[in-house]
């Protein structure tokens, strides 16, 4: 067997696992294919996702189900204004052993799970948010003089409600940038609603089973990183990223008019990693321009900051990014 | 294609402009120059399209897009550019995946060659251009009327003169070539008389005729004369051939022929047959004569050879002693000159020998036959006479041709003079003609009294030349009286009552003021010495009579010929300006005897 054959096999195996994963999640979650794929992309891209949607759309259920099928340790943190960093990171307590000896012991907080659901993350104070975001970025937590490493795989799925903005602390741009994708959870269709009601209003209780082990997830994450990207695809991702900046040569008029600041290089990284995952989802061996286009919205929407005029006009960042994708040719002279 | 309508559109506009305005080549030049701009734009556009950098993987991307291959072909191509060692297994798999897809590609459908949107416009413009090029825009322009035919006009008197010339030449001539030339000349005169030719045509036909005549003219006449003289010198040595010799020497070829024939008769006739001594003398003379030309040529060649040797030695001497070169130079130059002269002489002798070869042959044969058969020799002499006759005819024909050439030149000069100075010159010539014929003129030189009954015949001397310029006065026969009287006064004449007096007037024109005309040009009297035979009336009487009664009469013809001969001799010998020559000849044309 050649290396290529082996690679083909790996990709094939990846596809099978994803198929199984989707199927298992699909037993609980109705529809939301894009959101599920987006979340899986974040998981396999070793990063974090920000889910935004009105209450009751199954965000928490999705994350819980995901944790279940992945067989990973899961914790949920409900962010409230009085939530303190120690509440999520953990704290040092005086512990009295069986012998009666007392010692200071670090009690890990919920952030030390493999999958952390930061529910309504924008309700906590920035101080608490920062504590979370540090762990997200560094995959480690420093308490006192001790640094505690978080076990891999590690990903945080944060949710936020776009409606109730009063009494919330919107995440600063720098912190938003740490999220790989921002996924918007759409309202279910009628058929999906039928299915949801059918599943949730009966005495049937669906228990998800674990379809992937931790090691398998790490393998899949490694495979994602190995997926090659052709120069023209990478060039396209970079051009898309550049086009989000109002001063860029290829920036469309909408960007020039309504965008204050474009996406950071993390945006291109997110697009390409997402593209790689998407290619593997399809059983392809390399990411394509189409993959970049497909991931651009999720990867860039929280990274493009609209100007005052843009906000006043009610221009959504999604519209700006869609405009870029539409107008930017796949190749350039 | 996008740019093609620009030059095409311009071409349509330019062609329309050219057609509508009927621009000349010069007028079209700015349009051509401006046309370079759209053409350059088009060429630049094409060049840019050819040489611009195209997007990478444009074609494969189009294929991927059309087939929905998610860049698999393009990616495969991109990875195949990476060295194999650097490729990852996934890259290799991607390449193989792309290769596997390649047989499903359909470039024809993926990237169809689309007809550009501008095609319709280009087609339309092209058709328009073609249509315009076929379109004939007619402009009605007033063409300038063809210049009116202005026939060459020659006075009736001149026409008559040249007709007479033609008639005379035709009568004299029996050479077919010369006759053809005379007929052409005659036709030319008739065409001028009928006003059928304009000035240009007349000169053209005269030129053609002159050229043909010159082409046919035997230019070796001098050589032949020289040969005949040599012959004469030898024949003179025998008493029997002396008459022929003197005739040949004087170029009386018919007499020479006659003399030879007579000699032949004498030889044939036994009674008058010369004695042996005479015959021996004749034989020797004939023999010598036959070889005279050859002898002459031989002499020339010998002299030339000697001169050449001398020349060589002089050249050698000059080469050896450069200092002596100065003294040798004049000798060398003289030597060269003599060599050149001998060359010319030799050439002439050769031509002469060639022309006389037949006669020489006959004379040599006659000399040979004379030794044993006088009759046969006589026959040879007869043939020699025939040859002389041939030469005589040829010479006569040449003379006629030369005469015709002279007449043509006279005619051309007359026409040239008429057309040279416009109306003024015409008037001057007219006046000249009137006065030459003794008719009344309005010029100066009249007597004190107005002209009498004889009108213009009592005018002053004929003055040749332009007014104010140098002039020649030719005393007219009847001007003697007037001139003497006019000379007495110091003012030009001018009668108060024209045509009423019996004698030349003595007063002066009251309208004139100032001093008498003082010609700066010196008058030269032309004296015509008529041959005085001492018989009949004196020349002056004849001329006087001709002036009184017109230029008719036998006596006047004789006097005219005498005067004309002298005038022609003077004209040929003296250096006289060509303008004056014309007037002299014209004068004699005008006063020629009439029938």
Contacts of A3 in chain B (CB under 8 A): 89, 92
- Mean of the per-residue pLDDT values of chain B: 74
Of the segments B33-37, B236-240, B419-423, B525-529, which one has the largest average pLDDT value?
Answer: B33-37
Of the three residues A194, A209, A225, the one that is the final residue of a domain is: A225
Assess B63–A contact: CB distance below 8 Å, yes or no.
Answer: no
Do A60 and A117 form a contact (C-beta atoms < 8 A)?
Answer: yes
- Give the one of A231, A291, A331 whose C-beta lies nearest to B55's C-beta: A331
DSSP 8-state assignment for residue B21:
H
* The dihedral formed by the CA atoms of B368, B371, B374 and B375, expressed in degrees to the nearest 10: -50
Output A181 or B224, whichever has higher pLDDT. Answer: A181
pLDDT in tens, B109-125: 877 888 877 888 888 88
Of A194, A107, A122, which is closest to residue A163 (Cα–Cα)?
A: A122
> Looking at beta carbons, which residues of chain B come within 8 Å of A233?
71, 75
Confidence of residue B326 (pLDDT cuts 50, 70, 90): low
How distant is the Cα of A230 from the closest Cα of chain B, in angstroms? 6
A87-120 pLDDT, tens digit per residue, is 988 888 888 878 888 888 888 899 998 889 888 8
pLDDT tens-digit profile of A181-199? 999 888 888 888 888 888 8
CATH code of A194's domain = 3.40.50.300
A292 in contact with B at a CB cutoff of 8 Å?
Answer: no
Are residues A198 and A218 part of one domain?
yes
CB A13 within 8 A of CB A19: no
Question: Does one domain contain both A199 and A250?
Answer: no
Residues of A in contact with B82 (CB under 8 A): none
Residue A55 is given by DSSP the state T
B/e letters for B52-71, b = 16+ CB within 10 Å, e = fewer, are eeeebbbebbbbbbebebbb
Alpha helices (H) along B321-466:
325-370, 374-420, 422-436
Q: How far is CA B355 from the centre of its chain?
A: 29
Is A289 an interface residue toward B (CB < 8 Å)? yes
Tell how many helices (H) and how many strands (E) occur in chain A. Answer: 14, 11
| Residue A92: inside a domain | no
Does A197 lie in the same domain as A263? Answer: no
* Residue A2 contacts B where some CB pair is shorter than 8 Å: yes
Residue B127 to residue B130: CA distance in whole angstroms: 5
* Chain A residues touching residue B57 (CB < 8 angstroms): 232, 331
Average pLDDT of chain A? Answer: 87
Tens-digit pLDDT profile for residues B480-528: 343 434 333 344 444 444 444 555 666 666 666 666 666 666 666 666 6
Is pLDDT above 90 for A275? yes
Q: Which of A228, A232, A279 sits opposite B74 (nearest CB)?
A: A232
- What mean pLDDT is predicted for residues A21-49? 87
Rg (CA), chain A: 21
Asked if A333 has any chain B CB less than 8 Å from its own CB, the reply is yes
> Distance (Å) from the C-alpha of residue A311 to the closest C-alpha of chain B?
35
Q: Do the beta carbons of residue B66 and residue B76 sit within 8 Å?
A: no
Summarize the confidence of residues B396-404 as an average pLDDT: 79
Evaluate whether B235 touches B285 at the Cβ level (below 8 Å): yes
Chain A, nearest residue to B71 by Cα: A288
ipTM score over 0.85, yes or no: no
The answer on A284 and A196 residing in a single domain is no
B58–A contact, CB cutoff 8 A? yes
Does some domain include residue A99? no
How many percent of chain B have pLDDT more than 70? 73
Task: Select from B53, B92, B94 the Cβ nearest to the Cβ of A3.
Answer: B92
Residue A16 lies in a domain: yes
For chains A and B, CB pairs below 8 A equal 82
Greater pLDDT, B507 or B18: B18
Asked whether the beta carbons of A113 and A151 are under 8 A apart, the reply is no
Per the model's pLDDT, the better-predicted residue between B313 and B219 turns out to be B313
* Number of domain units in chain A: 2
A144: left (phi over 0), alpha (psi -120 to 50) or beta: left
Asked if residue A89 belongs to a domain, the reply is no
Q: Which of A12-21, A281-290, B80-89, B214-223 has the lowest mean pLDDT?
A: B214-223
* Cα B397 to Cα B400: distance, rounded to the nearest angstrom: 5
**Co-location of A55 and A171 in the same domain:** yes
**A248 and A333 co-located in one domain:** yes
- The whole-number pLDDT of residue A238 equals 93
Report the residue of B89, B95, B111 to disrupt the A interface, i.e. the one with the largest count of A CBs within 10 Å: B89
Q: Are residues A179 and A264 in the same domain?
A: no
CATH number, residue A317: 1.10.8.80
The reported pLDDT for the residue numbered B283 is 74
Backbone φ and ψ of A187, nearest 5°: -75, 140
Rounded to an integer, what distance in angstroms lies between the CA atom of residue B36 and that of residue B41?
8
From chain A residues 10-49, the ones with a CB under 8 A of any chain B CB are 11
Cβ-based contacts of B65 with chain A (< 8 Å): 330
Q: Pairing mode, if any, of strands A155-160 and A49-52?
A: parallel
| Same domain flag for A221 and A281 | no
Name the domain boundary from A206, A225, A244.
A225
**Phi, psi of B448, deg, nearest 5:** -65, -30
Q: Among A49-53, B162-166, B508-512, whose mean pLDDT is lowest?
A: B508-512
**Residue A19 located in a structural domain:** yes
Q: Is the pLDDT of residue B90 over 70?
A: yes
**Cβ(B545)–Cβ(B528) under 8 Å?**
no
Same domain, A214 and A247: no
User: Is residue A68 domain-shared with residue A160, that is, in the same domain?
Assistant: yes
Angle, in degrees to the nearest 10, between helices B89-102 and B72-80: 120
Q: Are B403 and B169 a contacting pair, CB within 8 Å?
A: yes
Residue A146 in domain: yes
Per-residue confidence (pLDDT) for residue B480, from 0 to 100 = 38
Determine, yes or no, domain membership for A76: yes
Q: Write down the pLDDT at residue B459.
A: 45
Which among B61, B72, B91 is the nearest to A330, CB-wise? B61
Q: Is B66 on the interface with A (CB under 8 A)?
A: no
Residue predicted with more confidence, A235 or B148: A235
Domain boundary among A161, A195, A225: A225
Instruction: Note whether A146 contacts B: Cβ–Cβ < 8 A.
Output: no
Question: What is the H or E stretch that residue B472 is in?
Answer: strand B472-474
Please indicate, yes or no, whether residues A122 and A218 belong to a single structural domain of this protein: yes
* pLDDT at B445 > cutoff 70: no
| Residue B240 confidence (pLDDT) above 90 | no
- How far apart CA B173 and CA B520 sit, in angstroms, is 48
Range of the domain at A192: 1-82+110-225
User: Is residue A230 within 8 angstroms of chain B, CB to CB?
Assistant: yes
* Cβ atoms B587, B560 nearer than 8 A: no
Q: Do residues A275 and A295 touch, judged by C-beta distance below 8 A? A: yes
E strands, A150-278, are: 155-160, 181-184, 259-261
Whether A258 contacts A316, CB under 8 Å: no
B496 lies within 8 A of chain A by CB: no
Collect all residues of chain A within an 8 Å Cβ-Cβ radius of residue B52.
333
> What one-character DSSP code corresponds to residue A163?
S
pLDDT at B456 over 60: no
Token pair, residue A11, equals 């990709």
Give residue-wise pLDDT tens across range A279-291: 999 898 999 999 9
Query: CB of B185 within 8 Å of any CB in chain A?
Result: no
Q: pTM (2 decimals)?
A: 0.49
For residue A286, give the nearest of B57, B58, B90 by CB distance. B90
Task: Identify the CA nearest to A79 among candidates A134, A128, A127.
Answer: A128
Dist. CA B177–CA B393, nearest whole Å: 12
Rounded Cα gap, residues A77 and A116, in angstroms: 7
* Structure tokens that stand for B106 in this block: 């359909």
Calculate the alpha carbon distances from B527 to A93, B237, B532, B563, B566 in Å: 169, 43, 14, 9, 9
Which of B321-330, B369-378, B459-468 has the highest mean predicted lDDT (pLDDT)?
B369-378
**A88 occurs within a structural domain:** no
> Does A234 share its domain with A219?
no
């Amino acid at each position: 067997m050649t290396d290529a054959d082996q690679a083909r096999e790996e990709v094939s195996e990846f596809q099978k696992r994803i198929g199984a994963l989707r199927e298992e999640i699909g037993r609980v979650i109705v529809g939301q294919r894009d959101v599920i794929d987006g979340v899986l992309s974040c998981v396999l891209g070793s990063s974090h996702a920000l889910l935004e949607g009105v209450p009751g759309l199954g965000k928490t259920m999705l994350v819980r189900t995901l944790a279940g099928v992945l067989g990973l340790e899961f914790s949920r943190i409900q962010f409230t204004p009085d939530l303190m960093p120690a509440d999520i990171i953990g704290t040092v307590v005086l512990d009295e052993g069986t012998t009666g000896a007392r010692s200071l012991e670090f009690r890990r907080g919920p952030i030390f799970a493999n999958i952390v659901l930061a529910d309504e993350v924008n309700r906590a104070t920035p101080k608490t948010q920062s504590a979370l975001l540090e762990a997200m970025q560094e995959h480690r937590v420093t308490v006192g003089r001790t640094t505690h490493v978080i076990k891999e795989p590690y990903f945080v799925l944060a949710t936020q409600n776009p409606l109730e903005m009063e009494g919330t602390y919107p995440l600063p741009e720098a912190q938003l940038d740490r999220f790989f994708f921002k996924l918007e959870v759409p309202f279910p269709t009628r058929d999906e609603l039928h299915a949801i009601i059918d599943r949730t209003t009966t005495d049937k209780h669906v228990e998800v089973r674990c379809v992937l082990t931790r090691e398998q997830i790490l393998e899949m994450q490694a495979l994602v990183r190995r997926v090659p990207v052709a120069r023209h695809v990478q060039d396209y991702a970079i051009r898309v990223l550049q086009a989000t900046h109002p001063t860029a040569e290829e920036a469309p008029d909408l960007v020039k008019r309504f965008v204050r600041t474009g996406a950071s290089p993390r945006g291109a990284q997110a697009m390409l990693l997402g593209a790689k995952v998407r290619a593997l989802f399809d059983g392809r061996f390399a990411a394509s321009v189409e993959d970049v286009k497909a991931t651009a919205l999720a990867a860039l929407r929280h990274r493009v900051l609209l100007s005052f005029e843009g906000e006043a006009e009610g221009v959504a960042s999604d519209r700006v990014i869609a405009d870029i994708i539409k107008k930017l040719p796949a190749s350039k002279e | 294609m996008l740019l093609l309508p620009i030059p095409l559109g311009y071409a349509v506009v330019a062609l329309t402009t050219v057609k509508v305005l009927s621009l000349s080549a010069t007028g079209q030049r700015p349009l051509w120059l401006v046309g370079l701009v759209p053409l350059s734009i088009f060429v630049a556009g094409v060049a840019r399209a050819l040489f611009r950098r195209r997007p990478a993987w444009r074609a494969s991307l189009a294929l991927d897009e059309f087939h929905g291959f998610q860049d698999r072909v393009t990616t495969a191509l991109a990875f195949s550019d990476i060295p194999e060692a650097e490729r990852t297994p996934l890259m290799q798999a991607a390449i193989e995946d792309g290769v596997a897809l390649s047989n499903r590609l359909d470039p024809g459908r993926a990237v169809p060659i689309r007809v550009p949107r501008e095609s319709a416009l280009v087609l339309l413009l092209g058709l328009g251009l073609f249509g315009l090029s076929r379109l004939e825009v007619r402009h009605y322009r007033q063409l300038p009327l063809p210049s009116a035919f202005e026939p060459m006009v020659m006075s009736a008197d001149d026409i008559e003169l040249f007709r007479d010339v033609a008639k005379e030449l035709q009568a004299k001539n029996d050479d077919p070539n010369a006759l053809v030339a005379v007929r052409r000349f005659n036709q030319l005169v008739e065409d001028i008389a009928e006003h059928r030719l304009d000035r240009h045509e007349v000169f053209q036909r005269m030129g053609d005729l002159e050229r043909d005549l010159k082409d046919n003219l035997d230019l070796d006449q001098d050589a032949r004369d020289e040969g005949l003289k040599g012959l004469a010198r030898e024949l003179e040595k025998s008493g029997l051939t002396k008459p022929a010799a003197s005739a040949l020497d004087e170029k009386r070829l018919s007499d020479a022929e006659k003399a030879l024939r007579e000699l032949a008769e004498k030889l044939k006739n036994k009674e008058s047959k010369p004695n042996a001594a005479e015959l021996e003398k004749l034989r020797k003379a004939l023999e010598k004569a036959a070889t005279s030309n050859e002898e002459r040529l031989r002499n020339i060649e010998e002299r030339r050879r000697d001169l050449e040797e001398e020349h060589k030695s002089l050249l050698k001497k000059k080469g050896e002693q450069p200092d002596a070169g100065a003294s040798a130079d004049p000798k060398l130059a003289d030597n060269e000159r003599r060599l050149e002269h001998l060359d010319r002489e030799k050439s002439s002798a050769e031509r002469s020998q060639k022309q006389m070869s037949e006669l020489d042959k006959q004379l040599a044969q006659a000399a040979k036959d004379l030794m044993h058969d006088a009759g046969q020799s006589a026959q040879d002499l007869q043939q020699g006479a025939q040859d002389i006759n041939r030469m005589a005819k040829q010479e006569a024909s040449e003379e006629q041709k030369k005469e015709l050439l002279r007449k043509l030149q006279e005619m051309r000069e007359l026409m040239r003079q008429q057309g040279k100075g416009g109306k003024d010159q015409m008037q001057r010539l007219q006046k000249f003609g009137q006065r030459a014929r003794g008719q009344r003129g309005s010029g100066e030189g009249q007597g004190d009294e107005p002209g009498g009954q004889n009108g213009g015949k009592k005018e002053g001397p004929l003055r040749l030349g332009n007014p104010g310029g140098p002039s020649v006065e030719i005393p007219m026969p009847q001007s003697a009286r007037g001139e003497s009287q006019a000379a007495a006064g110091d003012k030009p004449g001018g009668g108060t009552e024209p045509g009423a007096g019996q004698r030349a007037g003595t007063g002066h024109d009251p309208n004139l003021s100032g001093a008498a005309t003082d010609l700066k040009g010196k008058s030269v009297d032309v004296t015509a010495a008529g041959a005085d035979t001492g018989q009949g009336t004196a020349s002056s009487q004849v001329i006087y009579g001709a002036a009184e009664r017109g230029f008719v009469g036998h006596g006047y013809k004789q006097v005219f010929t005498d005067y004309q001969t002298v005038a022609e001799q003077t004209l040929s010998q003296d250096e006289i300006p060509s303008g004056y020559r014309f007037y002299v000849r014209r004068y004699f044309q005008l006063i020629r005897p009439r029938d």
